[in-house]
Amino acid sequence: MNIQTRTKLVKDAAYKLGFEYVGIAKAEKMEEEAKHLEEWLNKGMHGKMQYMENHFEKRIDPTKLVEGAKSVVTLMYNYFPEEKQEDTTAPKIAKYAYGKDYHFVIKHKLKTLLQTIEEEIGEVNGRCFVDSAPVLERDWAKRTGVGWIGKNTLLINPKQGSFFFLAELIIDLELEVDGPIKDYCGRCTRCIDACPTEAISSEGYILDGSKCISYFTIELKEALPDEYKGKFEDWMFGCDICQDVCPWNRFSKKHNEPEFDPHTDLLKMKKEDWEEITKDVFQKVFRKSAVKRTKFEGLKRNIDFLKE
């Protein structure tokens, strides 16, 4: 089987599993990206996310994750919901967390994809990654041309915006590589202007993670800093502000993944329901959700922080 046929087989199998966009890059050490990551870490922009400092070499070199790796396959999976929370005054949850935890949903699809490749091509050494390993997913996505990294530091696809999960398959199979595309942010500064905690630098393209609402509401395990009181704009888990204001997200389309549909109670809950939420309700509504990561106590802390 020649390289073109192999590449087509991999992409077709991914599209069949529901991935919207697939791009391929050569598995090699990321020299330029390594410098940027080091600078970002040295400035302490990762806050209390100590894990970002770990496995530096693995983050910048895919061959340290998969021996003999030749290709990094980037896959994009849409999660944009059709419906929103009904009570506009209620504490808000980032759209990606409406349904079942994406780690499980997408990891299952990636394993199926790897299995299909092995069935059609033969034994392949590879690993699947979904946001839980030392992989610079946005940088790989940028290299493959499935989008560009916007001023809000998120990957933006010119046809469908940024409401996507990114995943990677690192394999020891040589495939045809794709090239990067142009940055279409232009002079737009909507994401920079809209961020209430000024987490995005004034020039864009650098995010101070230690100031991001998503960091505060998900990653930070200690008390929320008083200096940010009144600046969360009702976000209790994650934040979509810089995506909601992005002009490219006018092209977002409803996802086709039933697993990402929210629990029937989630969108109906009113402000008072959230403020009086019990552990039982939390367990019922978020039984298989990514929101479980912050635990009941963490979500309560966030909701209490939003109160006047």
Contact 239, 212 (CB under 8 A): yes
How far apart, in whole angstroms, are the C-alpha atoms of residue 226 and residue 138?
32
The rounded Cα 13 to chain-centroid distance in angstroms is 22
- H helix or E strand, kind and range, residue 6: helix 3-16
Residues 207 and 115 in one domain: no
Rounded Cα gap, residues 198 and 207, in angstroms: 9
**Residue 298 sits in the same domain as residue 224:** yes
- pLDDT level of residue 264 (50, 70, 90 thresholds): confident
- Would residue 141 count as lying in a domain? yes
CA distance 105 to 301: 28
What average pLDDT does the structure give for the chain? Answer: 96
Q: Do 22 and 133 belong to one domain?
A: yes
Q: Which of 27-31, 133-137, 182-186, 300-304 has the lowest mean pLDDT?
A: 133-137
Residue 302 has pLDDT above 80, yes or no: yes
State which residues form the domain around 85.
3-171
Q: The tokens of 99 are what?
A: 């349904």
**Is position 244 annotated as part of the catalytic site?**
no
| Residue 180 counted as domain residue | no
Domain co-membership, 239 together with 211: yes
- For residue 177, being part of any structural domain is answered with no
Token couple for 216: 């505060």
Q: Are 226 and 161 contained in the same domain?
A: no
Does residue 178 sit within a domain? no
Packing angle between helix 102-121 and helix 3-16, nearest 10 degrees? 140
CA distance 171 to 63: 9
CB 48 within 8 A of CB 225: no
Task: Mention every residue, 6+ apart, whose C-beta is less than 8 A from residue 5.
Answer: none
Catalytic residue of the set 61, 87, 101, 131: 131
Q: Quick one: 297 exposed, middle or buried, by C-beta within 10 A (0-12, 13-18, 19+)?
A: exposed
Percent over 90 (pLDDT), the chain: 95
Give the per-residue pLDDT at 159. 98
| Whether the Cβ atoms of residue 164 and residue 20 lie closer than 8 Å to each other | yes
Percent of the chain whose pLDDT exceeds 70: 100
**Are the C-beta atoms of residues 24 and 74 closer than 8 Å to each other?**
yes
